[in-house]
Amino acid sequence: MKYDVVIIGGGLSGLVAGITLQKAGKRTAIISTGQNALHFFSGTFESLQEPSQRIKDLFLEAGVRVHYNPGVRLTPMGTFKEAALSLEDIDLFPSEKIGKRVLIVNFQGYHDFFSSFLAEGLEKQGMQCRVRFLNLPELERLQQSPSEMRSVQIARTVDPLWEKVVQEVRLLLKDEDTVILPQVFGLADTSVPGRIRQGIPARVVFAGTLPPSVPGVRTQILLRKRYQLLGGTYLMGDEVVRAHVHEGVVHSVATKNLDSHYVEASEAFILSTGSYFSKGLVANPFRVYEPVFGLDVEYKEDRNAWYNPSFAGDQPYMHFGVKASADLLALKDGEPLQNLYVAGSVLGDTHPEFGSAAGQAIQSALFVADKILGL
């Protein structure tokens, strides 16, 4: 199989690069193991300031509505974090005072939404909170199995029931000006969060749950669909097992599912395999390495220096990443490979000019796509 560009890794950076290249007329393929950091996405793009029109368009065309509104996000634990750009159903507030009287509504038997922590956090900011539980018969069925009350399963159930949710919340609502609901809406039908907001005569805030993040999974699905609609080939549930590199040029890669068929790219490869969790970086007791190409990795030799003994402290290992040239060409044995670009969190902190996390994923992906397009 031959493409113009082959992208290894189907998370945010792989998809952004893929969409950009497809739009510019390239034939591309994305090889994805299936799990990526979007599955635990907070819904806000850290380290991304006022986004360019290009980024806004890219999301909008995929049906991912984002808004730029610098302020603070309400976290699932009832604290606040600064952010500038977020998905449309994730509110950013000018201050921690998000209302005067707040009604927090959870589903009965759902332990992954922390209503008591939210209430305590908001009361600390001087708000009055009331916590109530909704009992939907449709969710009772989900509870037949003791581990089914999780975000995505609930999301699959509640989207069609949004009118009922609105009715029930209206019955619970007294004099509150703000209602907080778990972020489990709009997985299949992206209009649902907006409809719920319209139906409830108070400000509706969707607060996060334990992963998987429903807004994150939705974003991943929409971007993937957009990519496929543009003609991109998304090889889901597959991973690269071998790479064929000769004299500084990557010729092809072999994947687990397509064992004997090498995937070739005539123009370039992009490595966007994520960090440790997605196995873009692998640590063993002796070193940190990049498993596909054996690229140069920036890390500390002394294992003791990888960690901060404080859980909450900054962790050095999180800054490690694949070394790349200023053009984001991957380095191997100190020399850039001529057609292998690197994007996203596999870079670690080696190129701080691209920001971190979701911001880095987007900006490094666009940068790499532009390089391939000769822009």
Q: Which residues bind other proteins (CB under 8 A)?
A: 37, 40-42, 46, 73, 75-77, 79-81, 108-109, 111-112, 114, 116-117, 119-120, 140, 143-144, 146-147, 149, 208, 210-211, 213, 275-277, 279, 282-285, 303-304, 306-307, 309-312, 315, 317-318, 357
Size of the chain, expressed as the number of residues it contains: 375
Smallest distance, other proteins to C-beta of residue 187, A: 17
Smallest distance, other proteins to C-beta of residue 300, A: 13
Smallest distance, other proteins to C-beta of residue 112, A: 7
In terms of CB distance, is 127 or 357 closer to other proteins? 357
In terms of CB distance, is 120 or 138 closer to other proteins? 120
In terms of CB distance, is 27 or 279 closer to other proteins? 279
In terms of CB distance, is 210 or 241 closer to other proteins? 210
Smallest distance, other proteins to C-beta of residue 217, A: 13
Smallest distance, other proteins to C-beta of residue 115, A: 8
**How far is Cα 10 from Cα 228, in angstroms, rounded to an integer?**
12
In terms of CB distance, is 156 or 303 closer to other proteins? 303
**How far is Cα 134 from Cα 107, in angstroms, rounded to an integer?**
5
**How far is Cα 173 from Cα 199, in angstroms, rounded to an integer?**
12
In terms of CB distance, is 41 or 59 closer to other proteins? 41
Smallest distance, other proteins to C-beta of residue 278, A: 9
Smallest distance, other proteins to C-beta of residue 146, A: 4
Are 299 and 323 in contact, with CB atoms under 8 Å apart? no
In terms of CB distance, is 118 or 271 closer to other proteins? 118
**How far is Cα 144 from Cα 127, in angstroms, rounded to an integer?**
36
In terms of CB distance, is 42 or 233 closer to other proteins? 42
Are 244 and 252 in contact, with CB atoms under 8 Å apart? yes
Give the contacts of 23 (CB within 8 A, at least 6 positions apart). Answer: 230
Are 340 and 330 in contact, with CB atoms under 8 Å apart? yes
In terms of CB distance, is 187 or 369 closer to other proteins? 187
**Residue 234 CB: number of other CB atoms within 10 A?**
19
Closest CA to 63 of 199, 207, 227, 184: 227
Give the contacts of 157 (CB within 8 A, at least 6 positions apart). Answer: 136, 138, 139, 142
Taking CA atoms, 78 is separated from 230, 322, 327, 329, 351, in Å, by: 40, 36, 41, 42, 33
**How far is Cα 213 from Cα 327, in angstroms, rounded to an integer?**
33
Closest CA to 223 of 154, 285, 272: 272
For residue 101, give the H/E element and its range.
strand 101-107
Instruction: Give the neighbor-by-neighbor strand order of the sheet with 66-74.
Output: 44-45, 80-87, 66-74
Tokens read off for 298: 């920036």
Smallest distance, other proteins to C-beta of residue 114, A: 6
Smallest distance, other proteins to C-beta of residue 88, A: 18
